[in-house]
Structure 1
Amino acid sequence: MHAWFSGSNVTSIRLVSRYGPCSPFETKELPSLEQILLKDQLRVNYLLKGVAKSSTDDSKVSISAMDAGEEYVINVSYGTPVLEQTVTIGTGTDLSWIQCKPCNVCYPQEQPIFDPSQSSTYAVIPCNSPTCSQHQGSCSSSCAYNFTYIDGSNSSGVYSHDRLTLSPNDTIENFLFGCGTDNKMVFQDAAGLVGLGRGNLSLVSQTSQLYHSVFSYCLPSTSSNTGFLKLGEPGDDSNTVYTAMQTNSTFPIFYFVDLIGISVAGQQLAISPSVFRSGGTILDSGATFTYLPPSAYEALRSAFQEQMSAYPLKPPNGILDTCYDFSGYETKPVPASITLHFGDGVTLDVDSSGILFDDCLAFSANQVVDTGVIGNVQQRTYEVVYDVGNERIGFAPNACS
């Protein structure tokens, strides 16, 4: 049984910060910087779990590794009749899942938990189906999944099919997802997540005939602004620059880019491209900050501090070790510009909102492995286009509303 579609070949869904005024959640309290830093370290450890183990004190974090940094949410609907569900998006996973009744263990969520018995289009994946064996489901009476994350939290339930409604005019029939009845994590009111990774379970893969394996998003500059998640090719990509999407056999589900250099205030730093290429660089929607190989980060930090030498430093905040005291200034100074350079001549000028986070340089050294991660802070205000079929990633500036 394969997914089939009705609607247009491009659909756009409003994307908002879970903590901003547009968030559907009642609890909009921002986590502390300490929580964000710990969450982000869990997130990066989760991404690189093949070679890295968590070195943080996980007991301090009440949010799971999968949720760490997943700050942006969209509304979609499951079932017939439709039940709206607010879910996070994630480029670091392929399986989409939501909490389902009857819950053995479920965390509190904002909307009613999905009840498959109330949907006329719901079906479980049978044990003996090729779909079950293809996705390595375990079997008793139906095809089960169990995802365990690095901090010990997990989601488990059954592989299922149902109608997924992305907008009033765009529906996907027989969408394959996880119906989770055991969800041991604190997921901050969201019903689950939509997986946008490169695996064949992802929303991107399942809708490839309709949306041609293209999706994009724009993450807003502040939590008060809105962005979007778009499925399908951009209407006008005349101001989009494309860099080659890299593939890494160790992490086949992730989106890698060929980062080769960094400039500060227009001056490219003396870092050999091999420093970045040895472990590769993941482009990730879920990590907050950008993590660089230590020698690359040290060069960036030194040049940035030199450009910002007019402003007093304040003590480091966890992994963010270049922090400034702007308390004596009526308006915050514009930070020194930072540009990322990719292997095919493409450059990305990081928006000023993505350079400092809580008055600290929003970059850090990845002390665990030499793989880099470009986080969502540095992607703000750009439409980031994932053209999976043509193996390229695009950047278009000033794209959010």
Structure 2
Amino acid sequence: MDDPAVDDLLRELAPQVVGLLTRRFGDFDAAEDAVQEAMLDALAQWPGEGLPGNPRGWLVQVAHRRMVEQVRNEQARRRREERVATEAPLGPRAAPPADTAHETDRDDTLVMLFLCCHPALTPASAIALTLRSVGGLTTAEIARAFMVPEATMAQRISRAKQRIKASGIPFRMPDPQERGRRLASVLHVLYLIFNEGYASSTGFDLHRVELSREAIRLARMLHGLLPDDCEAAGLLALMLLTDARRPARTDTDGIPIPLAEQDRSLWDGEAVAEGVALLSATLPRGAVGPYQLQAAIAALHDEAPAAEETDWPQILALYGLLERMSDNPMVSLNRAVAAAMVHGPAVGLDLLKALEADGRLAGHHRLHAARAHFLEMAGDLRGAVDDYRAAAGRTASTPERNHLITRAARLAAAIPPADDEARPATGRPPAPA
């Protein structure tokens, strides 16, 4: 029986328990397997029997028992092999240390985070492993984020675990110098976890609140560990300023509501204030990084009393800086949107042509959705309908698909009967089925 509250609690506790067992046994891969088995037991028992008095302690005890069984089985196998080789039995190895209240209460989530961003791993492998082991995303979700087959991603994650195991580095928080080398990967993976929670790439719900909340929780912990790091503060500010809009992002049927049409009175004012305060304290301190720039853009949206009062010229300027700082096609797509709002849809359409020629977003639903919006702004309703339909056919998110289909249907109903020759010059041929 599914219970969202139990799911959320297990997602929060899992990396903590994996960290504790990894520190105790020194085997990250085996610890994760044991905790996964303990979570299956919890999912089978807790919804019907109720939560135990100490859910974390329950998971630790069950997973610890599984780990001890694994260790004993492995020891027995080795003894059998060595008896065959030497004909001399071996005595039992020391049992793992007993659990203590201090150890059980310790939260190793940040240690887990830095462990998954191990220097022996490539950045892509580190991010994938962290999304799986700390963020709780499935292998299929991570594969979609990296645009690779699920089997390829499963192999990548497995190899990453084995590389960490082979490195022999102890399970502890790295020293400041080593933390600095891993920080970029840590920030990036938190950003990806938050994004998957705020706008799920697949499924029937636009939001996966448990993921965005966990990303914010981890970002708070990271900012507490590194209070003087401007990008750690910038990332937390970005998350708060973006998540503040979540209550207004969908209608009663779960269909997305565009930013310009949202009821801003529903936005979380406390989260906006906290994000703006973080950003205001951070920006004057030193070099500005990409997370601070994105947070500044989010703040401009959040502080506008109404959509028509948004400071689009300033947003366009910030996206220009961000585009020069990071070669990211999604940044270029967002700059095209800002340019269309400042200079008109024709400019936005020209920028999309260049972006499409680049190839990295070829066929991506967001490129089609942006072009549909620009064509709608330009009055080319037929062209907009075609691109809205094309975008709907390319997204794996059910709420986004429903929104795009609804948008296309509404525009199609507004098109007056006319010959195809009357179609505006900016129009496009119908998208292929």
Give TM class, smaller chain.
under 0.3
Query: Normalized against structure 2, the TM-score is what?
Result: 0.24
Q: Give the number of the structure whose alpha-carbon radius of gyration is greater.
A: 2
Higher helix share: 2
Higher strand share: 1
Higher RCO (CA-CA < 8 Å; seq separation 6+): 1
Query: Normalized against structure 1, the TM-score is what?
Result: 0.25
